[in-house]
Structure formats: C-alpha cells, structure tokens
C-alpha cells in the first residue's frame, strides 16, 4: 500500500528540466505552466544546492506563461505564443527551450506546434514535454537531454563529422548533484590530460555549440543510470558507442580505470596515459602521507553511513573502503534508480567490501533514512543537510556530499577524480578533528607522545 514520503530530496520532472537547461550557457527555459513552478525550482533546487543562485535565467528572471483558469479551460497555446514572442524580444539567448508543466500537458496544449512556429520564423526554439507527474528531477534531466538530442538537426550549425578523441559526458545532473560543476571540471581535466577532448555539455564554457558537437563525438561516457537513455539515443542517431561506468570515479583506482578505458577505446597514447597515472597517483600518495598522523591520532577509521545517489555512492564507497580503510555500515541510495538496475548497483557496492556484512537501502524517505542511520550506530555520517539530526543523535561527524546542502556555499568544489578525492578527505578529516576538539577528546595519540 502506498504511503507518505517525508521530506523527499527529489523534486518533479519539470524542475529537473529547468535546472538542466539553465546549466547550458546561452540557453533560456520558457516555462509553460502555472505560476510558481519556476520559483519552486529556485527555492527547492538552486538555493539548497550549495547556494548556487539564479544565474542568467533563473529565479524571478525565468520566463513563464503563468497560466490561469481560463487557459486551462480554453487552452493556453495562444498564451505560450505570446510568451515566446516577448521572451525573444527581452531576453537575449542562443537557445530557448519551452518546458511544459502538469496543467498544460493535461489540457493538451500544442507545445510542439508553438516551438515549430518560432523556428520557422528563424528563432532557435525547441521544446520538451516535462510535466511533473512524469517523474522526478532525474527523469526531468533525461527528458530535457533527450529532447535536445532529438531536435538537434533543427538547430543551425549542427555537424556530423567525427572528431578524433572527442567524448561526451552524461549522467551528472546540474544542482541535483551539489558538486556538479566542480565534478565536470575535474572530469574534463583528467580526460584531457591523456589526450581526449571532453564535451561536458553543462557549466563553464559549455554553451549551445557544445550540443551542436554531439554528433562529432567518438564515445559517450555515462556516470549514472540517468545518462543511459541519452547515450542510447546518440548511438541510435549518430552511431556513437558508449561506456557505462555506472558511477563517478573517486580516487586513484577508479580514476585510473576511467582513463585506461578511454585510452583503449579511443586508441590514445598509452605511454602518455601511464605517465599521467603515475604523476596523479604520486601526488595523491604524497598528501595521503601528510594526513597519516592525524588519521591515527583522531581515529579516521570508522564505521560509516553513506546517503547519496546511485551515480555517487559506489564511487564514494570504493574510495572510503579501499583507499582510506573505513568500514561500511549502511549505504542508502535516494534517487529511485530503475528497478532493473538496483540489483546491479547493490552487487557493485557489496563487491567493494566482500567480507563485511552491511545494509544497502533504496529510499528517498527522510524519516526512514533517519531511522536507519540511528539504528546503524554509525560513527561517521556522509550525506546531506537532512542527515544533520541523525548524525547529532549519534554524536557522529557529518560530511555533506549529497543534495541538499543548505548551510554551505559550493562553487567549484569536487569530490571525484584525483583532486576531488583529496577535497573529500579534507572535508572528512576536518569534520572528525573539529568534532573531537569541540568535545575535548582530540588527538589521543598526540597527547600520549607528548
């Protein structure tokens, strides 16, 4: 029997689509829905994702038809035509994406016809059917990406020739992954260090031109279940093969596997890749050695509870267990991945610590998550701001690694790759050390040595 969900961290499909479009430089969403949908994305998406702000076309600046009762009764297509016309006059952009909400989908407004009408007049307007009832934030990302790929031929300047070494990155959802921009920058950095060209599609320097380059890629890299449909569509339309890594790489082992796989698939210079791996691993080892004293003095090796999404959790678990020697107690996945993929995700997580019996739970219910963490007796909690109460009840440090993050500003921080792994270690270590200092129990072995 269906029940209520307490404090879900997943918004609706429309909100997922809005923040996906907003993360493309030079793209503007036009919301065709009731008043408040755009503001809900701002308040329940951007602001609680590390205070990421509204940007060029977010918050109160997001164009919207704000339909009312008469548009529901008599149809809102004419109101949409008016809004597209006004937006084109007032908001300068390289691409306009009409996103439909629940009410306009239910009454059957002809959104495709309105977008086509604008294109025939020479304006770069496309659309995506994204009513909230079709799913959550992650599905909204899928719908927006799929719509842009499908309507790519309608955009002027789209190309077809393959570019050697060009790869497309899919599966990282802007704002829903609080560290999305820093993560994309770190992926771009390490991929380009071995000779690949990374098209990350979102964030700094990633505008409409990046989407026009989709047919040119030699390979698509997928880092969560939510990038699979887009990768399949690119393969179907442009013959682009894809690799499903299922999770973001964290630390030397996972990042090395990514770079070696890309090198093999694109036939890149293996000696260059080997040199990059050696340099990155040497750097990581250097800083791990520097934290060794604190690791033992403050007792970094603890049983942990981890709360996050399916594209994050396996990678984070692997680094915490294999690189840092921490002990998994409870792992909770919050993004409702498709049922057929859950067994594979669970198996992958359990393979990281085959000799340890720990729980893997799929739920977005914050009440249940809180109860599971409390019952686990975890000594360290990695999750979101919503896990603050459970961590406090256990007297355990909290490291914020997943959405939502309300009390921190996150701009270009990353928790993946080589440099992101060090940032994660800094965050984790700081939470443990500061917690012990505040309780007056800091640095036992340092005191003994003194």
Q: What is the pLDDT of residue 267?
A: 98
Which has the minimum average pLDDT: 12-16, 72-76, 138-142, 307-311? 72-76
Q: How far is 198 from 185, CA to CA, in rounded Å?
A: 10
166-279 domain in CATH 3.40.50.1980? Answer: yes
Residue 1 has pLDDT above 50, yes or no: no
Structure confidence by residue, pLDDT tens digits, 236-282: 999 999 999 999 999 999 999 999 999 999 999 999 999 999 999 99
Share of the chain above pLDDT 70, in %: 96
Strands (E), 310-397: 327-333, 359-362, 380-383
Q: How far is 231 from 211, CA to CA, in rounded Å?
A: 13
End-to-end CA distance of the chain: 61
Structure confidence by residue, pLDDT tens digits, 289-346: 999 999 999 999 999 999 999 999 999 999 999 999 999 999 999 999 999 999 999 9
Residue 383 has pLDDT above 90, yes or no: yes
Residue 448 has pLDDT above 60, yes or no: no
pLDDT band at 449 (very low <50, low <70, confident <90, very high): very low
Instruction: Determine the CATH number of domain 13-154.
Output: 3.40.50.1980
Specify the long-range contacts of residues 106-111, CB closer than 8 Å, at least 24 apart.
106/131, 107/71, 107/72, 107/75, 107/76, 108/75, 109/32, 109/75, 109/76, 109/77, 109/80, 110/77, 111/32, 111/77, 111/80
Q: Return residue ranges of the chain for CATH 3.40.50.1980.
A: 13-154, 166-279, 293-449
Q: Specify the CATH number for 293-449; select among 1.20.1250.20, 1.10.3720.10, 3.30.70.1290, 3.40.50.1980.
A: 3.40.50.1980
Structure confidence by residue, pLDDT tens digits, 413-440: 999 999 999 999 999 999 999 999 988 8
The residue written with tokens 């940007």 in the block is 55
């Amino acid at each position: 029997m269906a029940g209520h969900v307490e404090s879900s961290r997943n918004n609706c499909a429309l909100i997922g689509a809005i923040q996906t479009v907003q993360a493309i430089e030079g793209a503007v969403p036009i919301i065709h829905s009731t008043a408040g949908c755009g503001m809900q994305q701002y308040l329940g998406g951007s602001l609680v994702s590390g205070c990421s702000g509204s940007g060029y076309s977010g918050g109160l600046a997001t164009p919207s038809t704000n339909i009312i009762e008469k548009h529901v009764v008599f149809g809102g297509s004419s109101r949409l035509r008016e809004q597209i016309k006004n937006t084109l006059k007032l908001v300068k952009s390289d691409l306009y994406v009409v996103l439909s909400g629940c009410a306009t989908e239910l009454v059957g407004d002809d959104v495709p016809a309105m977008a086509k009408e604008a294109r025939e007049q020479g304006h770069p307007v496309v659309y995506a059917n994204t009513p909230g009832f079709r799913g959550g934030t992650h599905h909204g990302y899928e719908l927006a990406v799929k719509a842009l790929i499908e309507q790519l031929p309608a955009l002027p300047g789209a190309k077809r020739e393959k570019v050697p070494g060009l790869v497309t990155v899919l599966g990282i959802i802007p704002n829903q992954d609080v560290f999305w921009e820093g993560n994309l920058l770190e992926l771009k950095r390490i991929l380009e260090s071995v000779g690949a060209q990374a098209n990350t599609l979102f964030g700094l320097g990633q505008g409409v031109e990046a989407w026009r380059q989709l047919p040119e890629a030699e390979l698509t890299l997928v880092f969560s279940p939510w990038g699979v449909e887009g990768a399949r569509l690119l393969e179907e339309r442009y013959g682009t093969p894809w690799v499903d890594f299922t999770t973001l790489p964290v630390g030397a082992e996972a990042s090395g596997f990514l770079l070696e796989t890309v090198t093999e698939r694109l036939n890149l210079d293996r000696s260059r890749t080997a040199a990059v791996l050696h340099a990155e691993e040497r750097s990581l080892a250097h800083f791990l050695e520097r934290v060794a004293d604190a690791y033992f003095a403050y007792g970094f090796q603890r049983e942990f509870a981890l709360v996050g999404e399916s594209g994050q959790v396996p990678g984070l678990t692997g680094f915490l267990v294999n690189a840092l020697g921490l002990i998994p107690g409870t792992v909770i996945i919050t993004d409702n991945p498709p049922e057929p993929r859950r067994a594979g995700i669970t198996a992958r997580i359990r393979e990281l610590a085959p000799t340890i019996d720990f729980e893997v739970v799929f739920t977005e219910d914050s009440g249940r998550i809180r109860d599971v963490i409390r019952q686990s007796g975890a000594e360290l909690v990695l999750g979101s701001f919503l896990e603050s109460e459970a961590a406090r009840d256990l007297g355990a440090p909290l490291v914020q690694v997943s959405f939502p993050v309300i009390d921190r500003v996150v701009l270009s921080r990353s928790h993946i790759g080589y440099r992101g792994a060090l940032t994660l270690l800094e965050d984790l270590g700081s939470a443990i050390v500061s917690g012990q200092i505040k309780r007056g129990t800091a640095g036992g072995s340092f005191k003994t040595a003194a």
